[in-house]
Structure 1
């Protein structure tokens, strides 16, 4: 297939997360039916990948393998989106359960490159766990998205790739998660510094701004030629004091800003080519 053109923009939607209670945000998609409907509307709006956290019958975060597998299968059946499972879960999930997420056979998985303070909690990603998860992704032919919450995580990514080689397919995609209390700030200056610190082997990157940093990070990423992650996992307002109606609304805003930057949303097929998922490699 031809190379993905530079004006094509990967938009990832992160619709749910593990932090916001359903009781505080009824429009948050927490059931399988809600998640599938959200995925379909976001795909129609311009998203090409979905970053998935699963909730149980009580709307609580879970890493239950049966629910994860059911969700991956339903999203594959009902959409063309790349399905990326979170291996972070909630900050309280044990490391062994986080490793088993790959048993659900996603196209992609998140892989956070180090431990970081996360508000009042600690998001634990010790180096041995990072290495084990990466090798497991290589064995399972799952393409990782390397999550960078701080500048040191970019350096850690270089160490990981030097020690264990490239991901399946040879492409290296990472995402800057910015504005988390305890991580890098959600500013243009921080993003510029982060991009400058990336290993040369990185082939694409995106950026996520948490809360009020959403728009500054989105605009900075577009200006630097990066890609975007948006969604109700990361922000619950569309403007100051105005709640988000749906995840599709956030995707639509990203598409509108991209249009001003003379970029257009890439298709799921182009996204598979960009990330070299297993599906794209089988169809070449």
Structure 2
């Protein structure tokens, strides 16, 4: 499964599946709000957008009609912005429903949690067929892993041929929605061990997201290690000083400034580091 398009250096995730206006007035719910947020975030320094759509009640949805409308509108408003859709279950969708959405929509880029595709061992044949199909269709799958253990599990799936290919895109998650323990920048080191252990035979285009007020610090550390970053209200509403961010664009601007200070990029805009995959 060799991705056709590299991940952007800085992706914004403006809403996610769970938060709403009660969490922050500027969290985008409607398509109009999402487009306005995308425009503002691109101006603030975002290179890509992680897209969630909501239904008429404001709930998380994997409806392909809503996705197509959103993608078409965003491509007009921000034609140079990398667009990625989510396949997140959020407790509403089965693995079969997630796969069906991706097969119908055929997005250029989609994030997929390994733990959601392989909820039980009986899902293995379906997952194998799905990942092979996505590779054949040229759909870039960014694998979401929530721990170093899950990253090792993904590597085992690659070895077993469940997930084909030797170059993959990763979303490494620091912290959790529960927020019981805030992530720390050095927590990222646990992911580096399995990445470095397979340096000889596997390569990864990896990105980090982090929950809570430590988001900026965690993302800055990721950039120094050669990683890319995802920022936004899906994971954090707070600036590095602990203040509530005005909007997603403010979060993007803060993180972009830190990236520009700490991580060099090549001519293609890709992060350069000795540990870059």
Distance 1:165 1:241, change over 3 A: closer
Structure 2 length normalisation: TM-score?
Answer: 0.80
TM-score, with length taken from structure 1: 0.78
Distance 2:180 2:92 in 1: 18
Moved more, 97-106 or 222-231: 97-106
Displacement of 1:228 in angstroms is: 0.8
- Contact map agreement 2:87 2:110 (CA 8 A) in 1: yes
For structure 1, the residue ranges without an aligned partner over 5 or more in a row are 1-7, 116-122, 272-284
**1:146 corresponding residue in structure 2:** 143
**Number of equivalent positions:** 252
Contact 1:112/1:125 (8 A) holds in 2: no
* Residue 278 (structure 1) aligns with: none
1:241-269 superposed Cα distances (whole Å, 9 cap, x missing partner): 632222111111111111221436x89x7
Question: How far does the alpha carbon of each residue in 1:107-146 deviate from its partner, in whole angstroms, 9 at most, with x for none?
Answer: 211121226xxxxxxx974462643442332233210111
Partner of 1:118: none
Aligned-CA RMSD value: 2.8
Deviating more after overlay: 54-63 vs 124-133:
124-133
Question: Runs of at least 4 residues of structure 1 off by over 3 A?
Answer: 123-127, 129-133, 181-185
Q: For 1:27 and 1:92, locate their aligned partners in 2 and report how far apart those are by CA, in whole Å.
A: 25
1:34-45 matched pairs, under 5 angstroms: 34-45=33-44
Q: 1:207 maps to which residue? A: 208
2:218 paired with 1:217: yes
Deviation at 1:66, TM superposition (A): 0.7
Kept in 1, the 8 Å contact 2:143–2:170? The answer is: yes
Residues 74, 140 of structure 1: alpha-carbon distance in 2 compared, 3 angstrom cutoff: farther
Contact map agreement 1:150 1:183 (CA 8 A) in 2? no
Q: How does 1:172-251 map to 2 (within 5 A)?
A: 172-180=168-176, 181=178, 186-198=183-195, 199-200=198-199, 201-239=202-240, 242-251=243-252
What residue is the counterpart of 1:51 in the other structure?
Answer: 50
The whole-number CA distance in structure 1 between the counterparts of 2:8 and 2:49 is: 14
Q: Any stretches of 5+ residues in structure 2 without a counterpart?
A: 1-6, 271-277
Superposed CA offset, 1:72-103 (max 9, x none): 22222322222111111423322222112322
